[in-house]
């Protein structure tokens, strides 16, 4: 469980850290994020190849989940921190927002490219994977509903001075953020099930 | 989710009886992943009826030749 938390948290923090470099660092933070994803993708791929030699490598869905957790948390961390820096009155067509959007989408590209590196060339999944997926999706759904309720309450009953300052673009990005967080929760929950399965039993129910 | 599945199996023994079939070969024959074979042999996972029947078919055995109760549930004692 610690490994899942560490991967998620470190990716979130790296993403948030990259958001501080927009317009400050000589290299685009998005390119740094993309490079980090490619390098870590290669490292993980070699690690899984070594595990495969001893028959201890993760299956196709588990690989996709580790990749999804790390890259979604990184892209999410960058987005959350960017929204924080930009502030509630966010306007879509401003130089700062353009720069952060370019960085964010560059990292999305990095996530797609690194998936090509880490994915199983011979993907297989079965009922056990589908069972874990269903339970993970339930956790993600609960996270999404919880956030939607929280956001509804804030938008509906929050102090007018705060809510009125939120631009249309900011509200839409907050909604996107809830989707990203729900995905992170789902990936983490599914990975937790694979880890539990190494120690305990699961039955089809 | 439960601790300790009550359903045991003879997959490991049957693999060895069948020319020391590898876990990967059995997984491919049954159309599942090697990780699920590992979980089944480790007693970590109880399969669906369909999967149990597919595994039995690979060895040309009956399902209850491959799978058995470790401890029958109380309702089945009678």
Q: In this predicted model, what pLDDT tens digit does every residue of B2-55 receive, in sequence order?
A: 456 888 999 999 999 998 999 989 999 999 998 899 889 988 888 999 999 999
Q: What is the pLDDT of residue A200?
A: 58
* A126/B31 touch (CB, cutoff 8 Å), yes or no: yes
Q: What is the pLDDT of residue A179?
A: 96
Q: What is the pTM of this model?
A: 0.86
pLDDT-based confidence at residue A33 (cuts at 50, 70, 90) = very high
Contact B56, B47 (CB under 8 A): no
* A197/B5 touch (CB, cutoff 8 Å), yes or no: no
Q: Does A59 touch chain B (CB under 8 A)?
A: yes
Collapse the DSSP code of B49 into the 3-class scheme (helix H, G, I; strand E, B; otherwise coil) and give the result: helix
Residue A30 and residue A7: Cα distance in Å, rounded? 19
* Residue A200 burial by Cβ neighbours in a 10 Å radius (0-12, 13-18, 19+): middle
The yes-or-no verdict on residue A88 having pLDDT over 90 is no
Q: Does A122 touch chain B (CB under 8 A)?
A: no
Digit-coded pLDDT (tens) for A69-86:
999 999 999 999 999 988
Query: How far, in Å, are A174, B20, B55 from residue A88 at the CA level?
Result: 10, 65, 58
Task: Calculate mean pLDDT across residues A95-112.
Answer: 92
* A60/B33 touch (CB, cutoff 8 Å), yes or no: yes
**Going by C-beta distance under 8 Å and a sequence separation of 6 or more, which residues neighbour residue A71?**
A11, A37, A107, A110, A111, A114, A115
From B48's Cα to the closest Cα of chain A, the distance in A is: 6
* B44/A125 touch (CB, cutoff 8 Å), yes or no: no
From B17's Cα to the closest Cα of chain A, the distance in A is: 21
Digit-coded pLDDT (tens) for A143-170:
999 999 999 988 888 777 778 888 888 9
CB pairs A-B closer than 8 Å: 67
The yes-or-no verdict on residue A204 having pLDDT over 50 is no
ipTM score assigned to the predicted complex: 0.82
């Amino acid at each position: 469980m610690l490994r899942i938390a560490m991967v998620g948290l470190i990716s979130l923090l790296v993403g948030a850290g990259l958001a501080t470099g927009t317009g400050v660092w000589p290299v685009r933070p998005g390119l740094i994020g993309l490079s980090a994803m490619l390098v870590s993708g290669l490292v993980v791929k070699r690690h899984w190849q070594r595990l495969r030699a001893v028959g201890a490598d993760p299956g196709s869905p588990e690989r996709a989940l580790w990749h999804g957790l790390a890259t979604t948390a990184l892209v999410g961390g960058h987005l959350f921190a960017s929204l924080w820096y930009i502030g509630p009155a966010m306007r879509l067509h401003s130089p700062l927002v353009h720069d952060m959007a370019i960085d964010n989408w560059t990292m999305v590209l990095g996530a797609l490219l690194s998936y090509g590196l880490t994915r199983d060339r011979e993907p297989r999944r079965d009922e056990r994977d589908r069972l874990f997926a269903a339970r993970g999706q339930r956790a993600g759904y609960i996270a999404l509903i919880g956030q939607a309720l929280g956001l509804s309450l804030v938008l509906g009953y929050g102090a007018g001075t705060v809510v009125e300052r939120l631009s249309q673009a900011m509200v839409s990005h907050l909604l996107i953020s809830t989707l990203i967080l729900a995905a992170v929760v789902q990936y983490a929950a599914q990975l937790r099930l694979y880890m539990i399965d190494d120690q305990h039993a699961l039955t089809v129910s | 989710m439960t601790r300790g599945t009550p359903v045991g199996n003879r997959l490991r023994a049957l693999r060895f009886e069948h020319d020391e079939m590898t876990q990967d070969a059995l997984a491919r024959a049954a159309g599942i992943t090697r990780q699920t074979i590992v979980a089944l042999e480790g007693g970590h996972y109880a399969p669906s009826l369909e999967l149990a029947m597919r595994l039995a078919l690979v060895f040309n055995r009956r399902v209850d030749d491959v799978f058995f109760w470790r401890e029958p549930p109380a309702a089945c004692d009678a």
